[in-house]
Amino acid sequence: MTNPLLSEWQTDFQLPPFAEICDGDFCPAFDVAMEAGRAAYASIASNPEAPSFANTIEAMEQVDDLLDRVAGVFFNLAGSDSNPAREALQRDLSPKLSAYSSEIINNRALFQRIETLWEERDELGLDAEQMRVLMLYRRMFLRAGAALEGDEATRLTEIKGRLATLGTQFTQNLLADERDWMMPLEDLAGLPDFVVATARAAAEERGREGHVITLNRSLIVPFLQFSTRRDLRKRAYEAWVARGANGGATDNRAIAAEILALRCERAALLGYENFARYKLETEMAGSPEAVRDLLMQVWAPARAKALADAEKLEAMLRADGYDSPLEPWDWRFYAEKLRRAEHDLDEAALKPYLALDSMIAAAFDCAQRLFGLEFRPLEVPLYHADARAWEVTRDGRHMAVFIGDYFARTSKRSGAWCSTMRSQRKLGGEVRPIVVNICNFAKGDPALLSYDDARTLFHEFGHALHQILSDVTHGFISGTSVARDFVELPSQLYEHWLEVPEVLSQHARHVETGEPMPQDLLDRLLAAQNFDQGFATVEYVASALVDLEFHDGPPPADPMQKQAEVLETLGMPRAIRMRHATPHFAHVFSGDGYSSGYYSYMWSEVMDADAFEAFRETGDAFDAQMAGRLESHILSAGGRDEAEALYTAFRGRMPGVEALLKGRGLAAA
């Protein structure tokens, strides 16, 4: 039978024919795609014609269309709907794909064609985008080791293959720990109805009676907020922070140590002092010193705020009769009580106004008002019953297919992310993207979100808009193909529209009565936006600084000891832990994406706080001219210029850290 992954897709919008694809199709499809790619790259490298932009760079741009198509389906499924067959295939594929990439990078004839083009670039008559793409291709080859020879080239290939294997293993270990742990719950004391319903649904998914607590953030966080059983909060919290560090086959600590050692060796082979200097060379920050400077500017006021808050929370703990210090499993419980006391804000009363469907509609409505986008539901076969799709259009023109997959399940890795099954480009004919948002919200009927959940939905949709509005010729620079510490700008900026009172007043309607959120509740919600920011900022910055110190120097033989040393030096408040401890720090150890780069969220936040201020200055959060500038210079631009140049074109200057501190409520009074 014909492999559906290798056939032309006669589907609406050329969506993958999910109903026809089985797990057994992937391995042969990858083999065919890689063999076709090898032959095509060899043909480009051996072309007897003199190198030109068309016969080298543009030809390379289109070589891996089939591989990208197969990988776009597989890796989306591997993250969002895994199973033993997909996990086994991912373990097998990781080193194969790494070897394939190394073969291309190590093709001396191919690299020489790129070098020739670079040397002759001023005579080629290239436009600005072509010149940028040529520079990025050359830089990619050089940073991947194309100039190495002999034993050094061989060793670098070995390192990259091993890192690919270890990253996959780290991810799968974490998924296994999250999937396998649960705590049967007989005492529901303090839990509001929405937590009880979610715990019941979690038990049903696992084929059990009653209620269970799992390690899914949308369940364990509200449990820690509301359960009056301190012993159960401790048990659940300790299981949550122990992911990847439970001993046995799924323990990630030795994997993390090996990854750090291999990264340092990789950087040394390429001529860098350490991995942080290698990684940050192409980011906006440019150096470990710049990253550390930003994080420490934020750390001091955040720590001071967290310590002041800890005193209040510990006093509440002692008032409840506990003669013991505030612990990490107490923080969310007493913070929730303090939020109610200071802002009269009860999450159980808030959630009925934040139904998932209403928040999706709010995100779509903001995109329509800002960028003229329209969203039409599609009835098409998808990879899971929970996923749903929309066609995105503007003025009748097809822009993208957007897929939303919002609910937690045991087959989905934790967290939230945006990916594509197909990216935008114009080379070789217009290609419009297929964009996917993955979240892990608690399933319910109806599904109700916390305010943090709603922010996550807007955040990931901001990433989606970066893909949907992409308007470049070359796929190499489309959408989110930008510096890592710039990629979070569109997503974090989009979160701000959830704060706009008219958005909440229109879309935050009671799920049963349809009544809008009462004005006093809306006012209290917005007034409480910076509540507990000391805690949130400390747990994040601590993680970012540990990541930086892991990579800015010799690799630690024992990452857990290094983590402890960094936190002690910082004076980490005892009742707060890192947001992501080393054994479950997937951002850093599942791949190289955020390695030495977890700071990126805060680097982008400096810009997003300033960028939304640009809208505020107009007096209209939906100012058409400012939205046009945002689309033109950032959302549609992809990576066609340096990130600083793109932001400056939008705003006229680069911002300082002041807007970030003000936005988090950490600025000096």
Query: What class does CATH assign to 352-529?
Result: mainly alpha
Beta bridge partners of 420: 435
* pLDDT surpasses 70 at 262: yes
DSSP reduced 3-state for 375? strand
Query: What class does CATH assign to 12-105+107-144?
Result: mainly alpha
Every domain of the chain with CATH number 1.20.1050.40 lies at: 12-105+107-144
Task: State residue 348's pLDDT score.
Answer: 86
Give the orientation angle of helix 65-80 with respect to helix 26-45, to 10 degrees: 150
Task: State residue 445's pLDDT score.
Answer: 86
Q: What are phi and psi of 417, to 5 degrees?
A: -160, 165
Task: Determine if the pTM surpasses 0.85.
Answer: yes
Across 340-356, average pLDDT: 92
Across 362-374, average pLDDT: 98
Q: Which is it for the CA torsion 516, 520, 524, 527, positive or negative? A: positive
Confidence of residue 669 (pLDDT cuts 50, 70, 90): very low
Task: State residue 444's pLDDT score.
Answer: 86
Tell the residue number behind the tokens 């990858």, with chain if given: 30
Which conformational region is residue 125 in: left (phi greater than 0), alpha (psi within -120 to 50 degrees), or beta?
Answer: left
Beta bridge partners of 477: none
Every domain of the chain with CATH number 1.10.1370.40 lies at: 352-529
* pLDDT surpasses 80 at 250: yes
Task: State residue 187's pLDDT score.
Answer: 95
Task: State residue 1's pLDDT score.
Answer: 67
Residue 460 a catalytic site member = yes
- Tell me which of 336, 460, 549, 605 is the catalytic residue: 460
636 within 8 A of 503, measured Cβ to Cβ? no
479 within 8 A of 420, measured Cβ to Cβ? yes
The beta strands (E) that lie in 395-486 are given as 397-407, 417-422, 434-441
Task: State residue 579's pLDDT score.
Answer: 96
Report the C-alpha gap between 474 and 482 in whole angstroms. Answer: 13
Per-residue pLDDT tens over the stretch 145-187 = 999 999 999 999 999 999 999 999 999 999 999 999 999 999 9
* Cβ-based neighbours of 629, under 8 Å, separated by 6 or more: 650
Task: State residue 668's pLDDT score.
Answer: 67
Across 436-463, average pLDDT: 95
375 within 8 A of 402, measured Cβ to Cβ? yes
Average pLDDT, the chain: 96
460 within 8 A of 362, measured Cβ to Cβ? no
